[in-house]
Amino acid sequence: MFERHQHTTGAVVGYARTSTFDQVAGLEAQIAELKVAGCSKVYSEQISSIDAHRPQLKAALDFLREGDTFVVTRPDRLARGTTDLLGIVDDLRKRGVRVRLLSMDLDTGTATGELVLTVLAGIATFERSLMLERQRAGIAKAKAEGKYKGRAPTARAKAGEIMTLKEQGKSIPEIVKATGASRASIYRVLKAA
């Protein structure tokens, strides 16, 4: 692994990922494709994209500097979804790092690449709006049919217990642990009292 003092601006860095350890051939194919694309350094790991801790991705992102190019074979190798992808790309763009997605022939250093990312961002926002609209319609229907009760108000139901614990000198973290209510809810109950 390169040390920070050995890093030169303009590096082409790749990232390869497969979901499971039995996909060795898939990982090797990605690494080969990244090397053909000019990557002088490739970070790779075999871990699910839903795993919050992807150490090699973090290492790659930490390594990148202004003027570098970050290359992945496909967007799903880098991100959990469109929103995650756009967040990673936006962070890198702010740091002066170009992103190339080989399968889409997308390069954020070009006007076309920027346009495609803008369209993707619009689609992600649209999808989120549609999902929320469907959720609201489902809730309204369930309420109309008398099937929707909403989330039980944890803190209000436990207000007596919260007050008793506070009077006993318990700290907020101790009250959270004992009641299961959130800190904010506990503060609301205490303020109302």
Known catalytic residues are 19
At how many degrees (to 10) do helices 183-192 and 159-167 cross?
A: 80
Residue 100: CB atoms within 10 A of its CB come to: 23
Residue 32: CB atoms within 10 A of its CB come to: 13
- Of 124, 102, 121, 95, nearest in space to 35 by CA: 102
Does residue 150 contact residue 138 with C-beta atoms inside 8 Å? no
Q: Three-state DSSP class for 66?
A: coil
Q: How far is CA 126 from each of CA 103, 130, 131, 150, rounded to the nearest angstrom?
A: 24, 6, 9, 26
d(CA 53, CA 191) in angstroms, rounded, equals: 38
